[in-house]
């Protein structure tokens, strides 16, 4: 596959989400996309160094900037509200606890992927040498994320609308959108 046919920035032109579930599912589509891009990069042959560097930089950007916001949505916006509303032993609470636990393993794999992609962005001529490591880590991410995203999509996200009143759903969506707002310019401080 040629990288020139891969969208390096999927979802960038999409309209704003109308619900937390919609926003979170959009993130999941991008997580799957960038893991797939990593798998493609690991098996790429005969592509230019510029294409390798572009793909590595796009993967690095997504997993270093966007994934932490998605985890923030789940760890800081969803999880505390589920804990506060659900009795001990409830299915959704147990799934939410598993979700937070799985984020730790995901972050370890992500750190490995980021290190590889940073190296390939700087020195794309090392792709053949690093491809086995990239193959290993993206294969592991595909497996770990496969189970993780499935748990969230089948147990946690569908329950939100039943667990919380509309005003709490709106509050969660606002919190998630705020998380993505660029920090306000510091220029006003320099007067
Ligand atoms: Fe998650
Ligand atoms: Fe998620």
Provide the CATH number for the domain around residue 134. 1.20.120.520
Distance of CA 144 from the midpoint of ligand 2 (Å): 12
Ligand nearest to the CA of 24: 2
- Domain region containing 174: 19-178
Distance of CA 59 from the midpoint of ligand 1 (Å): 18
Distance of CA 61 from the midpoint of ligand 1 (Å): 18
At 44 the pLDDT is: 95
At 4 the pLDDT is: 55
Distance between terminal CA atoms of the chain? 52
Q: Both tokens of residue 93?
A: 């609470």
**Can you tell me the distance from the alpha carbon of 94 to that of 29, in angstroms, rounded to the nearest whole number?**
24
At 191 the pLDDT is: 33
Distance of CA 149 from the midpoint of ligand 1 (Å): 6
Tell me which residue of 32, 28, 30 sits closest to 152, measured CA to CA: 28
Low-confidence ranges of the chain (pLDDT < 50): 1, 188-191
183 within some domain: no
Distance of CA 24 from the midpoint of ligand 1 (Å): 9
Q: Where do runs of H (alpha helix) occur along the chain?
A: 20-42, 49-61, 67-72, 79-85, 91-122, 127-151, 160-163, 166-180
Distance of CA 91 from the midpoint of ligand 1 (Å): 16
At 182 the pLDDT is: 81
Distance of CA 126 from the midpoint of ligand 2 (Å): 32
128 within some domain: yes
pLDDT digits (tens, 9 = 90+) for 153-175: 999 999 999 999 999 999 999 99
Distance of CA 20 from the midpoint of ligand 1 (Å): 13
Element (H, E) at 55: helix 49-61
Ligand nearest to the CA of 106: 1
6 within some domain: no
78 within some domain: yes
Tell me which residue of 66, 49, 176 sits closest to 110, measured CA to CA: 66
At 49 the pLDDT is: 97
Distance of CA 186 from the midpoint of ligand 1 (Å): 32
Domain count, the chain: 1
Ligand nearest to the CA of 28: 2
Distance of CA 68 from the midpoint of ligand 1 (Å): 10
**pTM of the predicted structure, to 2 decimals:** 0.90
57 within some domain: yes
Query: Which phi and psi (to 5°) does residue 69 adopt?
Result: -70, -40
Distance of CA 115 from the midpoint of ligand 1 (Å): 21
184 within some domain: no
13 within some domain: no
**Who contacts 118 (Cβ-Cβ below 8 Å, separation ≥6)?**
56, 60
75 within some domain: yes
At 7 the pLDDT is: 67
């Amino acid at each position: 596959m040629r990288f020139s046919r891969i969208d390096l920035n999927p979802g960038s032109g999409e309209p704003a989400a109308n619900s937390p579930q919609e926003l979170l599912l959009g993130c999941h589509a991008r997580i799957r996309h960038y893991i797939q891009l990593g798998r493609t990069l690991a098996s790429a042959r005969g592509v230019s160094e510029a294409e390798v560097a572009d793909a590595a930089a796009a993967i690095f950007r997504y997993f270093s900037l966007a994934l932490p916001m998605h985890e923030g949505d789940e760890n800081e916006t969803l999880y505390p509200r589920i804990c506060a509303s659900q009795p001990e032993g409830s299915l959704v609470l147990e799934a939410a606890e598993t979700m937070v636990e799985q984020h730790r393993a995901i972050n370890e794999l992500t750190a490995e992927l980021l290190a590889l992609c940073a190296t390939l962005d700087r020195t794309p001529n090392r792709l053949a040498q690093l491809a086995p490591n990239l193959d290993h880590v993206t294969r592991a991410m595909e497996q770990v994320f496969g189970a993780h995203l499935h748990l969230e999509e089948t147990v946690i996200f569908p329950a939100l609308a039943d667990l919380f009143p509309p005003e709490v759903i709106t509050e969660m969506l606002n919190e998630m959108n705020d998380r993505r707002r660029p920090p306000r310019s510091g220029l006003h401080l320099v007067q």
